[in-house]
A and B are shown apart, each in its own frame.
Chain A
Amino acid sequence: MASSLIGSRVERKEDKKFLTGKGRYTADINLANQTYAYFVRSPHARATISKVDISKASNAPGVVKILTGDDLAKDKIGGLIAGWKIVSQDGTDMKCPPHPPLANNTVNFVGDHVAIVIAETLDQAKDAAEKVRVDYKVLKAVVNTGDAMNSKPIHDGIDKNLCYDFLLGDKGKTDEAFSNADKVVKLDLVNNRLIPNAMEPRAAIGDYNPSSEELTLYTASQNPHLSRLILSAFNAVHPEHKFRVVAPDVGGGFGSKINAYAEDVVVAWASKKIERPVKWVAERTESFLSDNHGRDHLTHVELALKNDGKITGIKVETIANLGAYALVFATVTPTYLYAPLLIGPYDIPAACCNVKTVYTNTAPTDAYRGAGRPEATYVVERIVTEAAKEIGMDQAEFRKKNFINKFPHQQCLVHNIDSGDYNAHLDKALELSDYKNFENRRSQSSAKGKLRGIGFSTYLEACGIAPSAVVMSIGAGVGLWESAEIRFNATGNVSVFTGAHSHGQSHDTTFAQIVGEKLGVPIENIDIIHGDTDKGPFGMGTYGSRSLAVGGTAIVKACDKIIEKGRKVAAKMLEAKPEEVEFKDGEFIVKNSNKKKTIGEIAFACYLPGTYGDIKSPLPEGVEPGLVETSFFDPSNFSFPSGTHICEVEVDQDTGETKVVKYTVVDDFGTIINPLVVEGQVHGGVAQGIGQALYENAHYDESGQLITASYMDYTMPRADNFPEFKLGFTSTPATSNPLGAKGCGEAGTIAAPPAVMNAVIDAIGEDISMPATSEKVCNALQKNKKNKEAA
């Protein structure tokens, strides 16, 4: 029974509540005596504020309190933080502007927070908010990534709007590779700005209890402990030991719920001030405006080649748009989560990457599903495809010629790749996608008047973040270990506490499978608990495809401790030596005998350590009662999933409309615990990646107004935009964790954009930028036609 749990398609334990509408999200929580908050936000991209006049609004019906940046400053509430210090190539530290949760004299993007209006009802709060008079002096906004460095600073003292000028790699060695190259291939690329669009908009409730002096913050967060740490240590909202952060059911995050947001700080602080609960729930347009956005890079890339197709060097220059302020993971995302991955799965001896991150009057950007790796993979897979074309080699052959094929492999930038087999997933993908008959399919499409194209993406990513010592040495403000606690209850069922929050990743199922497998307890008797700082030990949260590799391993280690303690207790009860007792499928068995105890009996014994009637379970000397074990796991290395995606598109020659018609994925995620869950993660990731390539784009006009602030204009892909995805897997287990798990949450989003764009470009014969909208494709087709006619 037990041994079949790992790798089996167990149906999701959490489906019942979610599919029957019984999920309990922050917005579903209503507290006695609760008030409702509405935020006054800047309608301007950039302005100074001379006065916030709340006098009229304060007298509006139902208003309980209106708070502004002045109040915040008086109470010495700290600003929002960038959690990762990046150092420029000249040795200076990155430059971050102040980021008060409510504006202090200036606003820097449309949606920036100016005041909180708290009233007895939401409508009253909204009515009163209309009466708050803010005197803005509108200033010229800096909107475009490419303009930022040539524009006047938007923040005092931040020259050229430059946060840092980062360099990774050996420039001299790379230049040498380029001067010895037979061929150099170049591309200029845009990585479009995206809005994460979690299904559940953000929400927060602050609830201060004046009697116990405890503050509770309910918030849609991916990492409640981290939020509590930031809110107490940096924002000084409340001391950590009197502060509880609860992230109940959370409807998707994709990175947009990592940050402790202004709204979190403000409702928590406000509830202390008014001694009543303060509830805020984002409306969809507020999410569009103020959730952190993702991507937004301009990149120039060059690849050095030998005539035989061997890549000898890669050189990358990127400008990354931070938006108005620097958020928690915002500064590391375009540097250490990006630059090291620019080598891809290839054996490239020399590489060098320069990243300049700039401030603009747009919503702040931060980690968004994939965080840095989609940006890097887009660069590598576009240039590699271009190189194969220019050199006249088949895309698969060119890649194989350059793949890393010996492991471990120390890359020339940062990573030491422990394991992989890139030929294996490429070959499998070629087969699954029926690559050899592609030209037939192209002819069939052509007969229907459609242009068909094919695109490859062979990606390598780094997840399972991360070894704390390594990340702290490169500026991380926290360690990236994970915790687990296993509590056996006296009746034999198990409560498992994990720091890895689940907001769509199916931890309730996957982690239960791991514990079920390790301890031989049926998964119905295992409860996975997360999302409440008052329940389990401090945990770092869920992002960077880390939950299984890091959090899952902490669980494994806690299970091992349980087994070790259980073995001692069982030995005593079975009158044997601990080393004679084996544990298998939930039973402690004395070797070469039929003497055994189930783990449930042992748990019971641990809670009744003595003799009473039929109960005879004195504990061995020195063994404490109870059966609870905690473990903190800090990985020795990142993990390195890889895979091959092959995309085929069809383009309507008249309208330019582009559809993905065939999509094949073969991933190597190391050990897979639950294929059903993993396939779901891949489907969602690929859908998001196709979204970036063909549909999604955050569009600001010249004045900094967000034009795509609702679903009327922001193109979220829908089910009918996708064909059925064909999935396959290969497996080379990770060596950095005992599960062999590599991580699967972001791979689809990482690999898909270049696969799709390579296919589009193959179909139309012209380079175009993401998203490949119908009009852009149509224009490119016309350009192509004109060029052909001219030739």
Chain B
Amino acid sequence: MKGFNFHSVKNVKEAKKLASGKSAFLAGGMTTIPAMKLRLALYSDIIDIKNIKDLSGIKVSSKSLRIGATTKHAEVASSKEVKRAISSLAHLADGIGDPQVRNRGTIGGSIANNDPAADYPSACLALNAIIHTSDRKIGADKFFKGMFETALKKGELIQTVEFQVPDKSCYVKFPNPASRYAIVGVYVAKYKKEVNVAVTGVESVVFRCKKIESALKSNFSSSALDSVKISSSGFNSDIHASSDYRAHLIKVLAKKAVAGCK
């Protein structure tokens, strides 16, 4: 690993001030540190945000669930509040990586990183999340821009992710057998007036599958998906899954998710 300056900051202002084109925030470090070790990323300054108070924690109201950016996956997975409000979200967090990763990795780091096979982005999209940053509020639909690319500007810090509590929801992931990231992850969330189906692992960035959403809108049942055809065009294809297999899995997992909604 190449040398860098390390800063541990106490508040958002300080973090912002230190941020530059050659800096990175350090949350769980589960992505940043391996990338630095492998020399895939070089930073002059690492700004540790874990000691910023108020950036971590879980708050629930009847309509929304707010998770602080440095809240760890393990905390979300085991939180009674999360389980009560949106149990599928706790389940999602429990399926990220392994215990070591879950005990360090954070929700803010995960969505800021926006890995095309990460789990949280699908939750943000399906659960109409609002991403509160140091500068503004960004709707999930505008946040995830492309592969490892988000709407965040240089030095902009995610503070809280606010999820809209659904009537029911379910996340089903078909993990990559090697990395355990999602080959396909399908998040189904049902609200009074809409059904959201977000898919991760399949394209360069998480997306909503309108075909499945519209089929479910008129008939919220697995069988409603029988006649839906998913085209594999533009889907990722790699040694673990061809694009056709991913298309096949979207439907299989969506059906499982609908059946598993609670």
Closest chain B residue, CB of each to CB of A713: B178
Asked if B2 CB lies within 8 Å of chain A CBs, one says yes
Q: Please report the C-alpha to C-alpha distance between residue A699 and residue B177 in the assembled complex, in whole angstroms.
A: 15
Q: Please report the C-alpha to C-alpha distance between residue A126 and residue B179 in the assembled complex, in whole angstroms.
A: 27
* Pair A775/B177 contact, Cβ less than 8 Å: no
Asked if A711 CB lies within 8 Å of chain B CBs, one says yes
Asked if A135 CB lies within 8 Å of chain B CBs, one says no
Closest chain B residue, CB of each to CB of A717: B177
Closest chain A residue, CB of each to CB of B245: A775
Asked if A53 CB lies within 8 Å of chain B CBs, one says no
Known: A123-B2, A699-B239, A713-B239. A778 touches B179 (CB 8 A): no
Asked if A136 CB lies within 8 Å of chain B CBs, one says no
Checking A654, A655, A773 against B240 with a beta-carbon cut-off of 8 angstroms, the contacting residue is: A773
| Residue from the set A123, A713, A716, A775 with the largest chain B CB neighbour count within 10 Å | A775
Q: Please report the C-alpha to C-alpha distance between residue A320 and residue B62 in the assembled complex, in whole angstroms.
A: 65
Checking B3, B179, B245, B248 against A713 with a beta-carbon cut-off of 8 angstroms, the contacting residue is: B179
B residues 238-253 near A (Cβ < 8 Å) are 239-242, 245, 248-249, 252
Asked if B228 CB lies within 8 Å of chain A CBs, one says no
Checking B174, B179, B249 against A711 with a beta-carbon cut-off of 8 angstroms, the contacting residue is: B179
B residues 46-103 near A (Cβ < 8 Å) are none
CB distance from A786 to the nearest CB of B (A): 14
Known: A655-B249, A655-B252, A778-B245. A708 touches B179 (CB 8 A): no
Checking B3, B181, B239, B248 against A778 with a beta-carbon cut-off of 8 angstroms, the contacting residue is: B248
Known: A655-B174, A655-B252. A713 touches B240 (CB 8 A): yes
* Pair A707/B239 contact, Cβ less than 8 Å: yes
Q: Please report the C-alpha to C-alpha distance between residue A734 and residue B46 in the assembled complex, in whole angstroms.
A: 63
CB distance from A735 to the nearest CB of B (A): 44
Asked if A336 CB lies within 8 Å of chain B CBs, one says no
* Pair B177/A715 contact, Cβ less than 8 Å: yes
* Pair A715/B245 contact, Cβ less than 8 Å: no
Chain A residues contacting B229 (CB-CB under 8 Å) are: none
Asked if A695 CB lies within 8 Å of chain B CBs, one says yes
Asked if B39 CB lies within 8 Å of chain A CBs, one says yes
* Pair A716/B2 contact, Cβ less than 8 Å: no
* Pair A774/B179 contact, Cβ less than 8 Å: no
* Pair B252/A708 contact, Cβ less than 8 Å: no
For chain B, which range describes its interface: under 10, 10 to 19, 20 to 34, or 35 or more residues?
10 to 19
* Pair B241/A775 contact, Cβ less than 8 Å: yes
Known: A123-B1, A711-B178, A712-B179. A775 touches B252 (CB 8 A): no
Closest chain B residue, CB of each to CB of A771: B177
User: B178-217: contact bitstring with A at CB < 8 Å (1 yes, 0 no)?
Assistant: 1101000000000000000000000000000000000000
Q: Please report the C-alpha to C-alpha distance between residue A775 and residue B2 in the assembled complex, in whole angstroms.
A: 40
* Pair A716/B252 contact, Cβ less than 8 Å: no
Closest chain B residue, CB of each to CB of A776: B245
Closest chain B residue, CB of each to CB of A652: B252
Q: Please report the C-alpha to C-alpha distance between residue A545 and residue B246 in the assembled complex, in whole angstroms.
A: 43
Chain B residues contacting A695 (CB-CB under 8 Å) are: 177-178
| Residue from the set B2, B177, B248, B252 with the largest chain A CB neighbour count within 10 Å | B177
CB distance from B126 to the nearest CB of A (A): 21
Q: Please report the C-alpha to C-alpha distance between residue A707 and residue B245 in the assembled complex, in whole angstroms.
A: 19
Chain A residues contacting B249 (CB-CB under 8 Å) are: 655
* Pair A775/B242 contact, Cβ less than 8 Å: yes
Q: Please report the C-alpha to C-alpha distance between residue A657 and residue B253 in the assembled complex, in whole angstroms.
A: 13
Chain A residues contacting B2 (CB-CB under 8 Å) are: 123, 127
B residues 1-21 near A (Cβ < 8 Å) are 1-3
CB distance from A120 to the nearest CB of B (A): 14
CB distance from A605 to the nearest CB of B (A): 57
Chain B residues contacting A715 (CB-CB under 8 Å) are: 177-178
Known: A123-B2, A655-B252, A699-B239. A712 touches B178 (CB 8 A): yes
Q: Please report the C-alpha to C-alpha distance between residue A654 and residue B242 in the assembled complex, in whole angstroms.
A: 16
Q: Please report the C-alpha to C-alpha distance between residue A778 and residue B253 in the assembled complex, in whole angstroms.
A: 14
A residues 572-625 near B (Cβ < 8 Å) are none
CB distance from B17 to the nearest CB of A (A): 29
| Residue from the set A657, A708, A714, A774 with the largest chain B CB neighbour count within 10 Å | A774
CB distance from B35 to the nearest CB of A (A): 12
Known: A655-B174, A773-B177, A778-B248. A708 touches B239 (CB 8 A): yes
Q: Please report the C-alpha to C-alpha distance between residue A657 and residue B174 in the assembled complex, in whole angstroms.
A: 9
Closest chain B residue, CB of each to CB of A697: B239
Chain A interface residues (CB < 8 Å from chain B): 123, 126-127, 654-655, 657, 695, 697, 699, 707-708, 711-716, 773-775, 778-779
Q: A711-B178, A712-B179, A779-B245 are in contact. List 17 more A-B contacts (CB 8 A).
A: A123-B1, A127-B2, A655-B252, A695-B177, A695-B178, A699-B239, A708-B178, A712-B176, A712-B178, A712-B181, A713-B178, A713-B239, A715-B177, A715-B178, A774-B174, A778-B245, A778-B248
**Selected A-B contacts with CB under 8 Å, 13 pairs:** A654-B252, A655-B249, A655-B252, A695-B178, A699-B239, A712-B176, A712-B179, A713-B178, A713-B239, A774-B177, A774-B241, A775-B242, A775-B245
Closest 6 CB pairs of A and B: A715-B178, A712-B179, A654-B252, A715-B177, A775-B245, A699-B239
